[in-house]
Structure 1
């Protein structure tokens, strides 16, 4: 949901509360506080009668966490009219819907549970059929209905997001001949550059050349390729470089100083070579889209990450099997690119991929999730093995030596976050725990391993 939607829902929540006075707000909160344990109990009693619910609520640790979460949700929802934190509450409902979408809990489960809470609430309120109790009942029903609506909106939004990724894959597969597109667009880029060089060196001090963003290549990339390749790291880089070339091209048409003009030409050529390199990587992505590989390292890309981690979590829960996750990040990677060039940076990334493959099993999953960040999902792996692999990879990379095409040599290090799966069904919490461990490793001086044994409760 965007901010405009959140703002509208925030106003709706406030409008509902404004229909009632503080006496009714307090009465509703006190009613919830007095009966929260009963309402939570009836919710899960009814949920566990549903055969489809067994997968989500079967073990004690998950049930305990979910009960605590539902209790907190009920109390916080009816404190909003008093603390006036309307927007914060809308965002909380939005987050709950997101978690439901990640875990895969169907919306109708939640609607079914809310219906049971409301049924029990009416049963309790029948003991006091005063005008005040009817107002309190009306207020509670409206607030619970709105809260559930926000959750479902968030659930649907995140489901649509998943479908959008699949649509992007279809766009990739619609490219009939990758090799033809690749050669054609490379030729288009070079034609634009050669035409500019000709005009500059023709001796005519006044000339006009179309902006790179308006050339055949620029229009193709901005209006077609950028969408087809959405999700790839290189897309925004190419777009940025295209507009940098535009700015330099404008200067070539007004500058008369030959030395300065030579400098501008060199900058344009360097940017265009970088664009060519990035576009080549994008076409490699298209070539590997069927297998879901990262074009540079041949590891899995992040688009399969959620699906695979979710599946392995389900397996670990059903079979009581250990599961570990390692997160890697190259230390000071920008310095490598700045000092030795992007080709050297690519060599460093390939070296990390080589290390991950060297020390992992065929059943493990190695991902490049973007930039210099990697994940290694270790199936049927306890913390002892996970730490051993983490140290092997860290040490191997630290001792390695990268050689550039220009004959230079350099080495680098990685920071590692390690987490052991603790049984919670939400895969994002597992990924976040690894990310937090990696962040701690960075803060602890880099080139080290940080372990997180337990995920924080939600």
Structure 2
């Protein structure tokens, strides 16, 4: 899944291109030779220096500590510096487009703009020193400094423009996501979560009353309700005093539970601790009811055919899961599913049969994933499942189960006939990379291999898989 092509140049980009060409023309050929010489001698050291500056800021540690990113970034920075130093008027359009792609990536990953600005400022200072050392302080050196300054500033302006546009799009989508609330029926979801919370509480009471060994009892945070609230509830309701209070109460309940189970307390003391836990759970129920009352029945964001989420909110979900994984040192997995021989189904049985097949698969995905997971219709005959808080083994078990259930459950056509269907599934575990397109690209490559290996199977993404050909990137978030 290669990177998306940059969007068509807008009026601002045309202005930047004209300014860049003008500055290169004003600099003259001698200044161009000075800068081209620096590209050959100084670009590698500049790339190293740039990331040394970045590493000094703790905000960049999540990005720069990831080995895959670090090994990719430094060579990319070296090429970026060399390309700017060697820039000619004929290169400007491609360079502007490249800055826009870089700005989009920075927005997806969440690199603060001021860090990039600081890094480029330090690079310019070092390169000014190199110009003085190689060309002295004559007219060519001054022209080279002016040209270098303009190239770096225009490149940074192009990045920032794309960054701002991408962040604005993301903010609008995130706001729509919160309004949508990710529940198709608020009343049903409210009762379901209340029941899960009550079930957890009753299971705890039974375990303690029956004097069973409760050492391995599921924490509230790790329960089905807790996972739903962390991964769906908070983004659905939005950050608020109530959601923060529920998070605090869940943490308090789990801490009290650990103490209750760990201590050899007499029955009266344990009963008092249990009452304290139940009081906190009651507060969670009350706050949850208040939050549900604030959201209404919203249909935007649903795929009309399958009633699943459409891909509009996928970037929002993946960004949040990446943040949660970084904070909790946990992980999640992406499953990319493709219905096998879908074109043949449409051609042989008609589009109504194809629609029935898609609805059938959507029903299986919704039924046999957890309430905390996300199921999207990605487009055409493709679906995406985001499995939260799973490791590799758990993700593969779920993926194998879904693949088997699809193959064992034929579609009933309008005439009553049964149509066997299968699906190919690519599985990618989040590996710490902060760009959500990376995990999607890996799932895509794995799904393509599942197709090549005979379909109706699950393939796990690893470093040995080639990139899937002809794929488009995840829509801009």
Paired residues for 1:4-403 under 5 Å = 5=11, 9-59=16-66, 61-81=68-88, 84-127=90-133, 128-163=136-171, 165=173, 288-289=298-299, 292-403=301-412
- Counterpart of 1:367 in 2: which secondary structure? strand
Q: 2:343 and 2:399 mapped to 1: Cα distance?
A: 23
8 Å Cα contact 1:169/1:289 also seen in 2: no
Q: 1:125 and 1:19 mapped to 2: Cα distance?
A: 18
Q: 1:435 and 1:442 mapped to 2: Cα distance?
A: 11
Q: 1:144 and 1:12 mapped to 2: Cα distance?
A: 12
Distance 1:407 1:61, change over 3 A: closer
CA shift for structure 1 position 12: 4.2
Q: 2:420 and 2:99 mapped to 1: Cα distance?
A: 47
8 Å Cα contact 2:17/2:92 also seen in 1: yes
Distance 1:10 1:435, change over 3 A: farther
CA shift for structure 1 position 444: 4.5
Q: 2:466 and 2:14 mapped to 1: Cα distance?
A: 30
CA shift for structure 1 position 141: 0.9
Distance 1:4 1:295, change over 3 A: closer
Q: 2:439 and 2:429 mapped to 1: Cα distance?
A: 8
Q: 2:460 and 2:14 mapped to 1: Cα distance?
A: 40
Distance 1:380 1:172, change over 3 A: closer
Distance 1:435 1:109, change over 3 A: same
Distance 1:143 1:162, change over 3 A: same
CA shift for structure 1 position 419: 2.0
The runs of 5 or more residues in structure 2 that have no matched partner are: 1-6, 182-295, 468-477
8 Å Cα contact 1:390/1:449 also seen in 2: yes
CA shift for structure 1 position 113: 1.6
The runs of 5 or more residues in structure 1 that have no matched partner are: 174-285
What TM-score does the superposition give when structure 1 sets the normalisation length?
A: 0.65
What TM-score does the superposition give when structure 2 sets the normalisation length?
A: 0.63
Q: 2:298 and 2:407 mapped to 1: Cα distance?
A: 30
Q: Deviations over 1:240-298 (max 9, x none)?
A: xxxxxxxxxxxxxxxxxxxxxxxxxxxxxxxxxxxxxxxxxxxxxx95437x5544434
